[in-house]
Amino acid sequence: MSTVATYPKDSFLSGGWDLKSWLLTKDHKRIGILYLLSISAMFVLGGLYAGLIRWNLLVPDGSHMSADTYNKAFTAHGVIMVFFFLIPSIPAVLGNFLIPLMIGAKDLAFPKLNLLSWYLYVLGAAITLYALLAGGLDTGWTFYTPYSTVFAQSNVEIAAIGIFVAGFSSILTGLNFIVTIHKMRAPGMTWFRMPLFVWAHYATAIIQVLGTPVIAITILLVALERIFHFGFFDPNRGGDPILFQHLFWFYSHPAVYIMILPSMGVISELITCFSRKRIFGYSFIAMSSLAIAAIGFLVWAHHMFVSGMAVYSAMVFSALTYLVAIPSAIKTFNWAATLYKGSISWATPMIYVFCFLGLFLIGGLTGLFLGNLGTDVHLTDTYFVVAHFHYIMVGGAIMGYLGGIHFWWPKITGRRYSEAWSRLSAVLIFVGFNLTFFPQFMLGYLGMPRRYHVYPEEFQVLNVLSTAGATVLGFGYLFPSFYLVYSLFKGEPAGDNPWGAKGLEWTTTSPPPTENFHQIPVVTEEPYDYAKAPKEKDAV
Amino acid sequence: MTAHAPGGPAHPAPAGGHPGSARASEALQHQFTDLQQQKEATTLGMWVFIAQEVLFFGGLFAAYAVYRNMYPAAFSAGSHHLSWKIGFANTLVLIGSSFTMAMAVHSAAIGKKKRIVAFLLATVLLGSVFLGVKYFEYGEKIRPCSGDGPYAGCLVPGERFDASAVHLEGDEGRHAQIYFSLYFGMTGLHALHMIIGMPIILGIAFMAWRGRYSPEYHSPVELVGLYWHFVDIIWIFLFPLLYLIGAH
């Protein structure tokens, strides 16, 4: 390693800062940054709505806002966070930026399509935000019929069209990844030399391509039913609301894996780097991603155990739900084995890895309570469910996202951020997160239903704790926007490989040149051969 | 982990290495190493796109299967208000357009410029005939009730739907609305796919006329062909499912 890292003269960022060079770019790295900015804006907005929810629940009598406003706030929170933050988060930002770099390609297979998917995302977000801000939406993010089709007076059809458009953004991103991974790998980059991050995105892309069109058509039918008074799900005319739920969850359950699989991919990269050890069980981790994608398509009806399904089909779906826990456990055990006798360092990304491991464990195990027919009847539609999926989506997906952002930030920007501030923020996020959501497990177990505007007084203590936690969590999330932006101007140049990590992305400059590599790399080794890795430059 | 290939990035000559394929190398986009890679990638991309289309229509087909199983009588009665003869004729028109499309792809592979253009235009013409027929079929169902004739109006689901037009009463009359919702939903979405496809075919015909394609490079013709065949296959399923329920 050279002594002092310098900032490269020639990079994808040096191509200019005028608006045109960004809005018409076909460079996957610039498009990744466009996504980073847009999903961060949506995250802030979704977070503000979460704040409104927690503010209302500070008091039992719902005196802080009307029931109608509350319904619109939790719907907006769900719609924004699910469709406009979590689904695109890691794939569209980190996947976009890193997949071509990791497999030694100059770009994704279809750069124009990549730009188009960003525009579709922005268009979908604009339409949906119009629906949310001009009158609002009160169906919950699940759009259950017949409420959404017959009774709701809010902007259901506009929001439906917005989500429809954004869905195609996700489909095209997945399509681009599948083709890129199949056809754009550098010489020597065989399937089993690919980083696990790429495997995870391959599995994710399959879900995006095969799952998303189903919610697209479903939500289109809801819009058609409202606009033209067609009767797809209207019980008055013999339509079946349960059919809507089946179609909705056929996508929306696998969508959970769109959120968590990329995060698992990030964790695999980080844990092996900061343990200075070859990953344990490479092929098991790779194949378990595919297994999650496959089995994940067969478990959707566990969201509907109390909706009036046949008991036998409920039993089958319950059993299949247990099956999907197996590949998740395979990953977790392999990560734990990777840590064993590793030389572990506590850089910020690694703190997020440990956050992920603990929180995903709790989130995953409480999922078994909900996949079990007996306990699910008691817990359905309570705060236990809310706590469970936040442990997966915030504790799992967002922790992985933040870990990944911190790990690859020096590569993306060529600058190092403040290690002290980033560690502080990671700890705040961890504490705030647990304080917010652990009390919700208790509330749910005690029987507090979700989505209610008021609640009995005996639940107030736990609700106040949760709101206090949300405040800490909110501050924790604010920190990175300051120290990361600060690093852009004042951060030290990162050098090509500040973590001493393996992987093709670390062999090029930081930030990488527009063509990614000055020479197309030829791969001769397995990934994660940390036995031969250079030492981490600045021990942290 | 890596070594660098000696002699800089590999830029082999375009596949086949025809000396006369200057136009083909112009078509090579910067992210690909050679035309072969580009062709494989774009073809795989189209197949993946078709896979998502299958799932997109799949939601509707699933709904169809559920409801037809629940309300067989209403579906049969509704189906009797479509003309299977018109539907069959339209099926032939569409199969014909698939044939002309296949001929266009073949002409591109052997480098017959004029024939590519002619066959693509024929495909668009046949597609227009199909949509024209569809227009009259829809019009018949949308117009106000005439009260007589085998194919009376008032068959658009909603408040103006008149169950007596399909000679059904009570529950079955309401269930027939589900049949017609699916009829309009499925055929409408199919027609929309044709409406999107036709301008693209015209654009590719224009590029063919300008001489952009050669036996080495004609992926766009092949890809739009794949799309068009897919849209036709959807109709091959829609025709019996919607028009041929029960013996007419």
pLDDT in tens, A236-262: 889 999 999 999 999 999 999 999 999
Q: How far is CA B217 from the centre of its chain?
A: 24
pLDDT digits (tens, 9 = 90+) for A286-342: 999 999 999 999 999 999 999 988 999 999 999 999 999 999 999 999 999 999 999
Asked if the C-beta of B63 comes within 8 angstroms of chain A's C-beta atoms, the answer is: yes
In 3-state terms, chain B is what percent helix, strand and coil (to 5)? 70, 0, 25
Q: Give the closest-approach CA distance of A1 to chain B in angstroms.
A: 15
pLDDT digits (tens, 9 = 90+) for B69-119: 999 999 998 898 889 999 999 999 999 999 999 999 999 999 999 999 999
Placement of tokens 């922005």 in the chain: A122
Which residue of B57, B141, B181, B182 to mutate against A (max A Cβ within 10 Å)?
B181
Give the Å distances, CA to CA, from A431 to A246, A459, A472: 37, 21, 8
In chain A, what's the furthest Cα-to-Cα distance?
75
Residues on chain A touching B2 (C-beta within 8 angstroms): 104, 504, 507, 521-525
Q: Would you state the pLDDT for residue A8?
A: 86
With bands split at pLDDT 50, 70 and 90, how would you rate the model's confidence at A17? confident
Q: Would you state the pLDDT for residue A361?
A: 96
Decide if A519 and B8 are in contact by the 8 Å CB cutoff: yes
Q: Would you state the pLDDT for residue A285?
A: 97
With bands split at pLDDT 50, 70 and 90, how would you rate the model's confidence at A136? very high
Whether A134 shows a pLDDT value over 70: the answer reads yes
Computed over every residue of chain A, the mean pLDDT equals 94
| Number of alpha carbons in the 13 Å side-chain half-sphere of residue B24 | 21
Residues on chain B touching A178 (C-beta within 8 angstroms): 44, 48
Q: Give exposure, A280-297, as e/b (b: 16+ Cβ within 10 Å).
A: bbbeebbebbbbbbebbb
Whether B12 shows a pLDDT value over 60: the answer reads no
Decide if B3 and A524 are in contact by the 8 Å CB cutoff: yes
How far is the C-alpha of B96 from the C-alpha of B91, rounded, in Å? 8
User: Which is nearest to A484 in space by CA: A33, A17, A2, A125?
Assistant: A33
Q: Would you state the pLDDT for residue B153?
A: 63
Decide if A522 and B62 are in contact by the 8 Å CB cutoff: no
> DSSP string of A234-286?
-GGGT--HHHHHHHHHHHHHHHHHHHHHHHHHHHHHHHHHHTTSPPTTHHHHH
Q: Would you state the pLDDT for residue B17?
A: 41
Beta strands A521-523 and B2-4, pairing class: antiparallel
- Of residues A477 and B80, the one with the higher pLDDT is A477
Whether B212 shows a pLDDT value over 50: the answer reads yes
Q: A40-54, A164-178, A225-239: which range is least confident on average?
A: A225-239
Q: Would you state the pLDDT for residue B165?
A: 73
pLDDT digits (tens, 9 = 90+) for B33-70: 999 999 999 999 999 999 999 999 999 999 999 999 99
Whether B141 shows a pLDDT value over 90: the answer reads no
Give the Å distances, CA to CA, from A214 to A100, A136, B60: 28, 25, 9
Q: Would you state the pLDDT for residue A211?
A: 96
Q: Would you state the pLDDT for residue B247?
A: 62
How far is the C-alpha of B215 from the C-alpha of B111, rounded, in Å? 5
Whether A539 shows a pLDDT value over 80: the answer reads no
Q: What is the mean pLDDT of residues A15-43?
A: 92
How far is the C-alpha of A350 from the C-alpha of A266, rounded, in Å? 11
Q: Would you state the pLDDT for residue A500?
A: 93
Q: Would you state the pLDDT for residue A533?
A: 54
Q: What is the mean pLDDT of residues A126-147?
A: 94
- Residue in A with minimal Cα distance to B49: A175
With bands split at pLDDT 50, 70 and 90, how would you rate the model's confidence at B146? low
Question: Residue B122: enclosing H or E segment and its boundaries?
Answer: helix B113-142
Count of C-beta atoms within a 10 Å radius of residue A37:
10
Q: Would you state the pLDDT for residue A531?
A: 79
Q: A4-18, A33-47, A170-184, A268-282: which range is least confident on average?
A: A4-18
Q: How far is CA B90 from the centre of its chain?
A: 13
- Residue in B with minimal Cα distance to A244: B63
Q: Give the closest-approach CA distance of A190 to chain B in angstroms.
A: 13
Decide if B1 and A524 are in contact by the 8 Å CB cutoff: yes
Question: Residue A522: enclosing H or E segment and its boundaries?
Answer: strand A521-523
Whether A484 shows a pLDDT value over 90: the answer reads yes
Task: Given the cut 0.90, state whether the ipTM is greater than it.
Answer: yes
Q: What is the mean pLDDT of residues A515-525?
A: 93
Q: A423-427, A429-433, B149-153: which range is least confident on average?
A: B149-153
Asked if the C-beta of B73 comes within 8 angstroms of chain A's C-beta atoms, the answer is: no
Highest mean pLDDT among A30-39, A230-239, B146-155: A30-39
Whether B163 shows a pLDDT value over 80: the answer reads no
Decide if B59 and A228 are in contact by the 8 Å CB cutoff: no
Computed over every residue of chain B, the mean pLDDT equals 87
Whether B13 shows a pLDDT value over 50: the answer reads no
| B34-B35-B38-B40 Cα dihedral, nearest 10 degrees | -110
Decide if B5 and A522 are in contact by the 8 Å CB cutoff: yes
Whether A467 shows a pLDDT value over 80: the answer reads yes
Nearest by CB: A239 against B9, B59, B178: B178
Q: A6-15, A375-384, A519-528, B228-237: which range is least confident on average?
A: A6-15
Q: What is the mean pLDDT of residues A157-168?
A: 96
Q: Give the closest-approach CA distance of A287 to chain B in angstroms.
A: 21
Percent of chain B past pLDDT 90, that is, above it, reads: 67
Q: What is the mean pLDDT of residues B156-180?
A: 83
Asked if the C-beta of B2 comes within 8 angstroms of chain A's C-beta atoms, the answer is: yes
Which residue of B48, B50, B189 to mutate against A (max A Cβ within 10 Å)?
B48
Q: Give exposure, A301-339, as e/b (b: 16+ Cβ within 10 Å).
A: bbbbbeeebeeeebeebbebbeebbebbebbbebbeebb
Residues on chain A touching B12 (C-beta within 8 angstroms): none
Q: What is the mean pLDDT of residues A98-126?
A: 97
Decide if A214 and B51 are in contact by the 8 Å CB cutoff: no
